[in-house]
Structure formats: C-alpha cells, structure tokens
Amino acid sequence: MSTASPVDELPTLDRTVIGAGLMAGAANVIMQLARPAVGYGVAESRVESGRLYDHPIKRTRTTLTYLAVATLGTDAERADYRTAVNGAHAQVFSTEDSPVRYHAMDPGLQLWVAACLYRGFEDSYEAFVGPMSEAQREHVYREAAPLGTTLQVRESMWPATREAFEDYWQANLAEVHIDDVIRDHLMSIVRLEFFPLPVQWLFGRFNTFVTTGFLHAPFREQMHLAWTTRDQRRFDRLMRAIGAVARNLPGPLRAFPYNACLWDLRLRRRLKRPLI
C-alpha cells in the first residue's frame, strides 16, 4: 500500500495556492511593476475604486478573487470576471504627461503580469515545500495558462512549455527597470504603509524581510534591498517551518482566503452585484 501523502503527489495550483503564499504577495507586486509600463499604469491609475491606498481591503479582495477564479473557477465565472476587470482596465492608459506609454488592456503587459503570478506560485511552492521535479514543474505550468487567458492574453501567447516560459522570462528581464518614483511607491507597499500605524510598526520589518527573500536577484538589486547568505539561511528555515504547518492544516484552512473569495464571487454573481 502506498504511503504517499498529498504533498508527494503531483502539485497542482490549488495545492500551491495555500494561504501562506500571501507572504510572497508584495514580492510579486514588485515583479509585476518592475516593467515601467505596468508600474506607471498602477501608480498613475485614475480608477479611484481600485487604488490600494484608497481602498486597501477592496483592492486586495479583487486581486485574490482574480487568482481564485483564474485557477479554481469555471469558464463562465472567468468570463464574467474578465468583463468586470476589463471595465476598470479600459480606464487605465497613459497621458501626455506620463513618462512611459501604457494601456492596461495591452495583452503583452498582461502576459508579463500573468508570468509574474505564475512565477510567484512556483516560488511559493518551492519555498514552503521544496524543489519540484521537471515533471511536476511542467504539470503545474500547464495549469497556469488561465492566469493570463482569463484576461486579454491569447492562448497562443502563453509559452507552450515550461522551458519556453523560461526563455520568455529571461528575455523579458531586460525590460525590468525600477526608477525612484516606482521604487518609493513599492517600498511603501513593502512597509505596509497602506495599513494603520500599529500594523506598520508590528509587521513592516518582517514583511520587508520576507519580501526581500522572495525576490529574485535582479528585482532585489533594482529595489536596492540588501541580502546576505545569512539572511537566505534564515529565510529558508522560516519558510520550511511555515510550510510544514500550512501543509498539515485542514483543506479549507489551507485554501483560505482563496476559497472565501471564490465563494464571495459566486454569491455576487447570484445576487447580480458588482464583481469588483
């Protein structure tokens, strides 16, 4: 009789998306906004209802719901959420005063954001569980296409294999550039400055440490964040400990808050309420 536990099976996105993965959230935001067109699109956004500092809970819920519906939702749910997100994205475009040209409906920019989200899933899984085999990595990667195709990314744009994705990733690192404006914006997120002062004081330094640990070297350097070999050892030990606890939680707790976000989306659809 097999003694394999669930974590020994092929990893899937629903197993990878454990609540502990939220600890990598700020690092993933940095990766996405490291492309100037994405960074300035967010920093200059005129969609007041979607700005993190004006509506931190609503903005966080929207992001988590997108991840939940893209990875765990039905085709109909994805289509409805695409329509809702498109309504906001259509209002995000550069002006004559913008230092770079951008439009949130650009499939190329959305592909970059989706690629960062996938990379975040992979990084989180390996931080909390350990390295995946090539077969496991390919299996998870094939499931990840809806991270982009739920919006404007055409299926033909999503790299066909994990190896092709790596080629795309390495080539697009050349487009990464974080200037002072975007760096200041991102550091305020890392330090949790959109939360009340007590939260910043209690968790700001910890979030900075964890965020720096989840960043790949090119992004860490662009953010001017120091990192030592000792820091890496501390980070690895901490993530393994958290992962060991998280993987042994009951399924609903392990999937929280993504399961709650998906439930909320389904309720909103049923009641015909706005989805974002």
pTM over 0.85: yes
CA distance 203 to 251: 27
pLDDT in tens, 201-222: 999 999 999 999 999 999 999 9
CA distance 31 to 120: 9
In this prediction, residue 194 carries a pLDDT of 85
In this prediction, residue 108 carries a pLDDT of 95
CA distance 12 to 176: 29
Q: How confident is the model at residue 55 (pLDDT cuts 50, 70, 90)?
A: low
Domain boundaries, the chain: 6-271
Going by C-alpha positions, the residue among 116, 110, 92 that lies closest to residue 149 is 110
Q: How confident is the model at residue 1 (pLDDT cuts 50, 70, 90)?
A: very low
Cβ count near 37 (within 10 Å): 19
CA distance 17 to 68: 9
CA distance 112 to 116: 6
Mean pLDDT of 111-125: 92
Q: What is the DSSP letter of 43?
A: H
CA distance 46 to 166: 34
Taking CA atoms, 230 is separated from 106, 123, 217, 221, in Å, by 41, 19, 15, 17
Q: Which helix (H) or strand (E) holds 136?
A: helix 134-143
In this prediction, residue 3 carries a pLDDT of 38
Round the average pLDDT of the chain to a whole number and report it.
87
Q: Is the pLDDT of residue 11 over 60?
A: no
The residue whose two tokens read 């931080």 is 127
Give me the sign of the Cα torsion angle 210, 184, 191, 39.
Answer: negative
Mean pLDDT of 65-82: 90
Q: Is the pLDDT of residue 48 over 70?
A: no
The residue whose two tokens read 């475009």 is 93
Measure the CA dihedral 10/13/14/18, to 10°: 100
Q: How confident is the model at residue 12 (pLDDT cuts 50, 70, 90)?
A: low
Going by C-alpha positions, the residue among 30, 23, 22 that lies closest to residue 217 is 30
CA distance 80 to 275: 8
pLDDT in tens, 235-244: 999 999 998 8
Q: How confident is the model at residue 15 (pLDDT cuts 50, 70, 90)?
A: low
Taking CA atoms, 128 is separated from 26, 33, 197, 240, in Å, by 17, 24, 29, 5
DSSP lists the bridge partners of residue 225 as none
Q: Is the pLDDT of residue 51 over 70?
A: no
| 59 phi and psi angles, rounded to 5 deg | -65, -40
DSSP lists the bridge partners of residue 103 as 93
CA distance 208 to 130: 22
